[in-house]
């Protein structure tokens, strides 16, 4: 199968405009005849469901939480980028485009990223009109800050709760459409299968998490906005319920999985403190605007940080990257923290932490100014660690945070299964091998508010769709198969809990396919994962029953998929014979220990095709062509 990106030709600036013109339209009066399933209610899913309903489609919207307002987009803190150039500091659509491509280490599609930068401004307009309370300047105009390695101030924010406010904006639009009867809402449902009929995605099979009933839902197209798979690593900053099920099951129905090894590790998280730990907490990297990262010069220095004199501190980011300093991109900041800890210079009880110090900022601006900027983050830190960052430096360590990989999509955000569209973090599209700060919210909303409403119409108008309803044999077969898997999980009655297996998988991945990877460890992981999986299916214990609210069963069903998906993640990491962005293989590095790309051989998107159980997947490569920018070695010196 040939991968067709469907990126339009012509000048970069005109591609999206031309494409929108070329896409067929669905007559407004006809839209109500089309049922569209949207899975997920985060920024991408919520905004898509609301917008499609506004334009007249009949939408069914599903989420695993008790309410659409709880989707994990809500936890994003820092902000959302846009190329408004309100501060007049030299920003432009082109610069946002360039920064995003470069930040992604030249492993994203030019056409998609340029469109994202173009749309970014409309997102700010839309969210403001909804009543999102963005921060303001004294004159009442919108405020901006610089964020995560950007040299211009293009980030819009609502305190440290930007994700929450943007999500509540999308949620309010969604609720308005539910109230108007244009959307039927299905909370507490988990996707078990995607139904493909005549090669087209025509529905989903879900489990009702309250009654345990396995339900069938048919539609003319399916949109998935189910988030990322960071929880494959067990410990991550993702919400507890975030999982890979929906996109993994779509993969098994023919949707190619792209770049699964691109996993972002966020540099400013609260360090791990015990084996019982259930998740990690991220603190916005806006903290790096004023906090200075350091470790003691001497390894094993156990003194109280405030007792360590200036001359015995190593502000290693400022030393190594004089122009970017503490604001280097996430992957660079993360790897450097790991390197310091590997050298024995890590701090705290585990030695797996570095300091993030606000002493100088407080001296310069006063505690009040710092409180105004970061008060809620400091509070959160103190609540968790019982330490006061106004008096003693924070301790931070990198943690799995976001995934750039996801289902492969073309320029229309359609997967290799016609009629199955994938939005937001669940797709692979815009961030290449590393996502810049404040770009996830932008992408989710761009996909949902401003891309899918056009491209879905193009698909619907241009396809012939037969009559398919829930009584179709494909649904019946699927329900039977899914019921069997659930009964199997409940009948194993082994000796280990679901979480126990999940933790084991997480350790294997973090140790062998984490921040700095090498072939030997990855081969080891590749061997260990199937062993864990085999034991899981023989020795897991899942209490409770199928026809009931059963959280153990929910988790078991997710961990079963993590155990399959993890193998593909490692396989992908092994197959990429270069380092790029967040994928850092120690065999491929520059003399300065930075990721060394191989543009000649590795400038491609990996897209994996499922070939059936027990069979090796096939790697397809979508070549990346750069017509508008010159590839450079990223340097933040």
Subset of 536-595 contacting other proteins (CB under 8 A): 541, 543-544, 548-549, 551-552
The whole-angstrom separation of Cα 258 and Cα 422 is: 12
How far apart are CB 125 and other proteins at their closest, in Å?
4
DSSP string, 2-71: --------S-GGGHHHHHHHHS----HHHHTT-EEEEE--SHHHHHHHHHHHHTT-EEEEE-SSSSGGGS
Give the whole-angstrom CA distance, residue 124 versus residue 82.
7
Residue 65 in the binding site for other proteins (CB under 8 A): yes
Going 531 to 534 to 537 to 539, the CA torsion angle's sign is negative
What single-letter DSSP state applies at residue 136? Answer: B
Strand 58-62 and strand 183-186: the pairing is parallel
Closest CA to 81 of 433, 455, 431: 431
Distance CA 592, CA 323 (A): 16
We find the least distance from the C-beta atom of residue 494 to other proteins, in angstroms, to be 10
Q: How far is the CB of 538 from other proteins (least distance, A)?
A: 16
Closest Cα partner for 280 from 381, 211, 158, 179?
381
Nearest approach, Cβ of residue 497 and other proteins (Å): 5
Q: Where are the alpha helices (DSSP H) in 496-550?
A: 498-512, 519-539
For other proteins, the closer CB: 238 or 340: 238
Q: Which stretch binds other proteins (CB under 8 A): 157-165, 290-298, 362-370, 390-398?
A: 157-165
The yes or no reply on residue 628 touching other proteins (CB under 8 A) is no
Stretch 45-64 residues interacting with other proteins (CB under 8 A): 47, 50-51, 54
Which residues ranging from 244 to 263 are in contact with other proteins (CB under 8 A)? none
Q: Determine, following the binding rule CB under 8 A, whether residue 187 of this chain makes contact with other proteins.
A: yes
Residues linked to residue 631 through DSSP beta bridges, in sequence order: none
Cβ proximity to other proteins: between 440 and 522 the closer is: 440
Residue 523: partners with Cβ closer than 8 Å, 6 or more residues away:
574
Contacts of 89 (CB under 8 A, 6+ apart): 152, 153
Which span sits near other proteins by CB under 8 A: 117-125, 316-324, 466-474, 589-597?
Answer: 117-125
Q: Does 236 bind other proteins (CB under 8 A)?
A: no
Q: Is 128 among the residues that bind other proteins (CB under 8 A)?
A: yes
Count, in order, helices (H) and strands (E) of the chain. Answer: 18, 21
Shortest CB 387 distance to other proteins, Å: 12
Rounded distance between C-alpha atoms, residue 332 and residue 636, angstroms: 9
Instruction: Give the closest residue to 411 by CA, choosing from 433, 428, 425.
Output: 428
Q: Does 86 bind other proteins (CB under 8 A)?
A: yes
Residue 401 is encoded by which pair of tokens? 């945070």
> Among 107, 330, 517, 634, which one carries the catalytic annotation?
330
3-class SS at 398?
strand
* 31 in contact with other proteins (CB under 8 A): no
**What is the distance between the alpha carbons of residues 148 and 145, in angstroms, rounded to a whole number?**
10
Residue with tokens 């350790």: 507
Select from 94, 357, 49 the least CA-distant residue to 185: 49
Q: Which of 239, 265, 442, 602 binds other proteins (CB under 8 A)?
A: 239
Number of residues that bind other proteins (CB under 8 A): 81
Binding to other proteins in span 510-529, by CB under 8 A:
none
Footprint on residues 203-222 left by other proteins (CB under 8 A)? 210
Binding track, positions 462-501, relative to other proteins; x by CB under 8 A: -------------------------------x-x-xxxx-
Candidate residues 28, 29, 88, 129; the one interacting with other proteins per rule CB under 8 A? 129
Is 249 catalytic? The answer is no
The phi, psi pair for 293, rounded to 5°, reads: -90, 130
Smallest separation, CB 523 to other proteins (Å): 32
Structure tokens belonging to residue 422: 């994938």
| CB 270 within 8 Å of CB 396 | yes
CB nearer to other proteins: give 149 or 187: 187
Site string for other proteins, 371-410 (x = CB under 8 A): ---------x--xx-x------------------------
| CA gap 166, 441 in Å, rounded | 8
> Shortest distance, CB of residue 240 to other proteins, whole angstroms?
5
Among 135, 339, 367, 546, binds other proteins (CB under 8 A): 135
245, containing H or E segment = helix 245-251
- Interface of this chain with other proteins, residues 433 to 452, rule: CB under 8 A: 449-450
Candidate list 179, 309, 612, 614; residue touching other proteins; CB under 8 A: 179
Stretch of 126-134, 329-337, 506-514, 603-611 contacting other proteins, by CB under 8 A: 126-134
**Which of residues 235 and 513 has its CB atom nearest to other proteins in the complex?**
235
Applying CB under 8 A, which of residues 57, 62, 97, 134 lies at the interface with other proteins? Answer: 134
Considering only 31, 60, 72, 115, the residue that binds other proteins (CB under 8 A) is: 72
Residue bearing tokens 């030249």: 106
Q: Give, as ranges, the residues between 269 and 298 that touch other proteins (CB under 8 A).
A: 273-274, 276-279, 281-282
Task: List, by residue number, the catalytic residues.
Answer: 330
């Amino acid at each position: 199968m040939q991968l067709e990106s469907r990126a339009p030709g012509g000048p970069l600036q005109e591609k999206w405009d031309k494409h929108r013109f070329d896409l067929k339209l669905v007559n407004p009066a006809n839209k109500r005849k089309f049922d569209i399933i949207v899975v997920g209610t985060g920024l991408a899913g919520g905004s898509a469901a609301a917008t499609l309903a506004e334009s007249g489609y009949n939408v069914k919207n599903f989420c695993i939480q008790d309410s659409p307002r709880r989707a994990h987009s809500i936890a994003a803190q820092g902000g959302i980028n846009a190329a408004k150039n309100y501060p007049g500091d030299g920003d432009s659509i082109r610069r946002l485009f360039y920064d995003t491509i470069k930040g992604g280490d030249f492993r994203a599609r030019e056409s998609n990223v340029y469109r994202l930068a173009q749309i970014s401004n409309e997102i700010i307009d839309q969210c403001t009109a909804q009543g999102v309370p963005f921060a303001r300047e004294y004159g009442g105009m919108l405020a901006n800050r610089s964020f995560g390695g950007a040299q211009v101030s293009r980030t819009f924010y609502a305190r440290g709760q930007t994700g929450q406010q943007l999500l509540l904006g999308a949620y309010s639009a969604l609720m308005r459409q539910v109230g108007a009867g244009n959307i039927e809402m299905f909370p507490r449902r988990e996707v078990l299968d995607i139904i493909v009929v005549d090669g087209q995605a025509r529905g989903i099979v879900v489990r009702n998490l309250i009654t345990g009933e396995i339900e069938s839902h048919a539609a003319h197209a399916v949109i998935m906005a189910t988030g990322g798979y960071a929880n494959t690593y067990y410990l991550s900053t993702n919400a507890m319920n975030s999982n890979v099920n929906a996109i993994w099951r779509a993969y098994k129905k023919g949707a190619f999985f792209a770049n699964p090894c691109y996993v972002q590790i966020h540099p400013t998280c609260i360090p791990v403190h015990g084996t019982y730990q259930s998740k990690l907490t991220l603190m916005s990297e806006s903290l790096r605007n004023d906090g200075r990262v350091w470790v003691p010069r001497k390894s094993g220095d156990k003194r109280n940080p405030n007792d360590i004199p200036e001359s015995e501190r190593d502000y290693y980011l400022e030393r190594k990257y004089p122009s970017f300093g503490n604001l280097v991109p996430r992957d660079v900041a993360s790897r450097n923290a790991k390197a310091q800890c590997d050298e024995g210079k890590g701090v705290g009880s585990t030695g797996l932490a570095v300091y993030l110090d606000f002493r100088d900022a407080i001296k310069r601006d006063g505690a009040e100014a710092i409180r105004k900027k970061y008060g809620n983050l400091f509070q959160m830190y103190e609540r968790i660690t019982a330490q006061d960052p106004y008096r003693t430096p924070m301790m931070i360590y990198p943690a799995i945070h976001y995934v750039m990989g996801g289902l492969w999509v073309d320029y229309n955000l359609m997967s290799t299964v016609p009629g199955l569209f994938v939005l937001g973090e669940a797709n692979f599209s815009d961030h290449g091998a590393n996502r810049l700060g404040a770009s996830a919210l932008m992408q989710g909303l761009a996909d949902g508010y401003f891309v899918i409403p056009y491209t879905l119409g193009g698909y619907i108008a241009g396809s012939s769709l037969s009559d398919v309803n829930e009584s179709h044999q494909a649904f019946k077969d699927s329900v039977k198969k899914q019921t069997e898997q659930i009964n199997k999980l409940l009948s194993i009655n082994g000796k280990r809990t679901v979480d126990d297996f999940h933790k084991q998988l997480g350790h294997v991945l973090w140790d062998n396919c984490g921040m700095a990877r090498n072939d030997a460890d990855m081969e080891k992981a590749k061997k260990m994962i199937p062993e864990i999986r085999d034991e899981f299916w023989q020795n897991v214990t899942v209490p409770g029953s199928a026809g009931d609210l059963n959280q153990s069963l929910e988790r078991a069903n997710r961990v079963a998929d993590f155990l399959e998906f993890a193998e593909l993640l490692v396989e992908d990491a092994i197959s990429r014979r270069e380092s790029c962005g967040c994928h850092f293989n120690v065999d491929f590095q520059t003399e300065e220990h930075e990721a060394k790309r191989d543009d000649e051989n590795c400038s491609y998107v990996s897209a994996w095709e499922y070939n059936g159980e027990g069979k090796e997947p096939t790697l397809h490569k979508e070549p990346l062509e750069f017509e508008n920018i010159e590839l450079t070695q990223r340097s933040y010196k």
